[in-house]
Structure 1
């Protein structure tokens, strides 16, 4: 029986990654499928078909794929779009004889300790770090590294479980908090969370991310993005802006590309996060997948190319450098910022009748009666705004934060109460 082919996107149904479908459509005529639990009940109609499986569950996906093989369908490529689906897609592509990266690449991109050792072996600048498994190792590591430091789960993402350590007392307290984050979210995202990274804190508000196109031995920086975080001691991402005023910094681009080379990333987009202090660059981590939080959308808005097209093409063994322009010229500046109410119970939500001219879209996903947590990671958001200016900024503008705070204050009415966690 001749099998019909399809492209399986894992994670494209996640909020702010929907444009992956458009990117895939631009590079292939194969039907675009996804996977989700309860696909028949909560059918996602953007896709041509929905496999009835958890996109993070290798066994469940294999069963669903084999069931569809009996119906005459077989994947041409299985493409991961977030951290949680990287290992699953890699294993399935390997077992099914599809295109995949060398063994060990995905492990190095999901295990922050392995990643940082690769950086050190290849002279990629990264903060001093230790891998720890218990409180005793934590305290020994801090004696060696010194304060301030950062603690984070070795295989999580999205700023989850990331805390600042300023002294011995809050080191112990925040280590326990980080472990609680794993207990809360570990099963949902299929992470181990038994070990933690302790690294020297680079105290600076200057942080960027760089999107790098990778295919075999070729690499190209597509965009440099300014990143906005909550103030210390929390590090939740609250906004992104493209293009950065640092976009023409050759040293910065070289470091990002060398970080990808050190991990042997040979397919798709890589998301490189870098801290900057005193004109020195420090690679924090690299994800072997497109950047999240709608970064791909704002890159597309200003550069007129859908970055997901690059990612999908490489998994289909199509050279993306054949359609990537030599030079990407921005037509303006775009940003995405997240709405955040004051902590407490949301008692009312009022969308303004008029919005600032820079606002391209606004979406509130919080509901009346929700409890708004303090911002610690991507989970603690109430909505999002997309912004656009028909000009470039020669500095790191505060406008995305000003506008998101202004609208958040207008939209949310909150009763400030202490949440009972018992």
Structure 2
């Protein structure tokens, strides 16, 4: 059950727990902490009000504004945080500032800055530690992009040095694509940097990793030795983009020792020593894996929900306990209950005329949710996490990864989208 604290004078402060497909972080916080659970939101109309005992008004992605909101709340109520737990990148530096002020456990500032919130520093740490990852070149203009492409060769990848969710990540296969690709990345940075107070507007060109498969690895980093909790198969949309469109747990690669070793060494190279980290790896059956990114926070896209469904324990709970310094006793042993998967719902390009409920779904469909409404416009491309109209979650009880076709959840999503979205014919 929960871990009691110093009574009602203290609370658990969490960042990012109300984002879509991260909501079960709230469930974990309530299971672990016996006391009020609090978050920070920018306005009173935020959906956070439905989940938390108190919602502090402030910019959750700005360290100074977040600390001010917490200090003002203490002056008003006398309450102070017993722990600060980040569930997404924008909460890392604000959480660090609050933890410093109140003397609470948290990741080091350097470990945060060396993670995927600054992909240049992340790459430097990985390469210096001998961890396999594609080379990169920092660029600050079209001439620098052309020079980087000449150095790394084609194909290559251009991306922001910050951001997640595949925002701005694009493949370049020909020199004629350079100008458009660079303009696209600059546009993504300009359009999204204010949303999460991203100060890093850098761009990098990265050597293309030709390995065909990708997994994410959820790694508990508490103390000296990281431990892999789960491995997830990932699926991507069409090139030249790298939008994630599906996930499956457990992965067909869950037992590969080199994958587990590489993920743990990557976390050690970044200096992560607290909470659950999200590590992305490219690989093939007979090829050595390579690290793509190391996130100093829990996974998004419902991946940890899939882990809980398939393996019988909550990584969110371990994450919260780690940040409270209450990770005592043996860790839970995975109890494979079946195969869990999530896939994105994508409407055809154009204006959505109506959203209709599915007439019937298979037994493997646990739930589905549609974000779009009549009148919404579906983009013709699937470039990042913003280009989706919903998702479907599936579960095959007792199934092993090899027993279910690797595209099964994607096929279910495609069929469901074809049924629920009626497009405007005009």
Q: Following the alignment from structure 1 to structure 2, what is the Cα–Cα distance between the partners of residues 217 and 405? A: 44
Question: Which residue among 363, 387, 397 is the counterpart of 1:357?
Answer: 363
Q: Structure 2: which 5+ residue stretches go unaligned?
A: 1-6
**C-alpha deviation, 1:128, in angstroms:** 1.7
What's 1:307 paired with?
Answer: 315
Is 1:95 the counterpart of 2:104? The answer is: no
| RMSD over equivalenced CA pairs, Å | 1.7
Is 1:76 the counterpart of 2:85? The answer is: no
Question: Which residue among 384, 390, 405 is the counterpart of 1:377?
Answer: 384
What's 2:134 paired with?
Answer: 127
Question: Which residue among 405, 416, 422 is the counterpart of 1:413?
Answer: 422
1:211-360 residue pairs with structure 2 within 5 A? 211-277=218-284, 278-319=286-327, 322-325=329-332, 327-360=333-366
Q: Is the 8 A contact 1:150 1:164 kept in 2?
A: yes
Q: Note the alpha carbon deviations across 1:207-255, whole angstroms, 9 max, x for none.
A: 0000000101021111000001002212111111000011111111000
Is 1:146 the counterpart of 2:153? The answer is: yes
**C-alpha deviation, 1:323, in angstroms:** 4.3
Q: Which runs of 4+ in 1 moved over 4 A?
A: 40-43
Check 1:275–1:42 CA distance in 2 against 1; reply closer, same or farther (3 A cut).
Answer: closer
What's 1:52 paired with?
Answer: 57
Check 1:63–1:402 CA distance in 2 against 1; reply closer, same or farther (3 A cut).
Answer: same
**C-alpha deviation, 1:371, in angstroms:** 0.9
User: Secondary structure of the equivalent of 1:79?
Assistant: strand
Q: Is the 8 A contact 1:39 1:51 kept in 2?
A: no
Taking structure 1 as the reference length, what is the TM-score of the superposition? 0.94
**C-alpha deviation, 1:193, in angstroms:** 4.6
Q: Structure 1: which 5+ residue stretches go unaligned?
A: 418-422
Q: Note the alpha carbon deviations across 1:146-203, whole angstroms, 9 max, x for none.
A: 0000111001111000000111110221011011111111111211353212111123
Check 1:28–1:41 CA distance in 2 against 1; reply closer, same or farther (3 A cut).
Answer: closer
User: Secondary structure of the equivalent of 2:114?
Assistant: helix
Q: Is the 8 A contact 1:265 1:288 kept in 2?
A: yes
Q: Note the alpha carbon deviations across 1:297-337, whole angstroms, 9 max, x for none.
A: 010011111111111111111225x2412x41311000111
Check 1:253–1:416 CA distance in 2 against 1; reply closer, same or farther (3 A cut).
Answer: farther
**C-alpha deviation, 1:117, in angstroms:** 0.8
Q: Is the 8 A contact 2:84 2:106 kept in 1?
A: no
Q: Note the alpha carbon deviations across 1:269-309, whole angstroms, 9 max, x for none.
A: 00000011452211000101111000010100111111111
User: Secondary structure of the equivalent of 2:171?
Assistant: strand
Taking structure 2 as the reference length, what is the TM-score of the superposition? 0.93
Check 1:339–1:251 CA distance in 2 against 1; reply closer, same or farther (3 A cut).
Answer: same
What's 1:420 paired with?
Answer: none
Q: Note the alpha carbon deviations across 1:30-86, whole angstroms, 9 max, x for none.
A: 321111122367562222221122311323322221222121110111111111211
Q: How many residues align?
A: 414
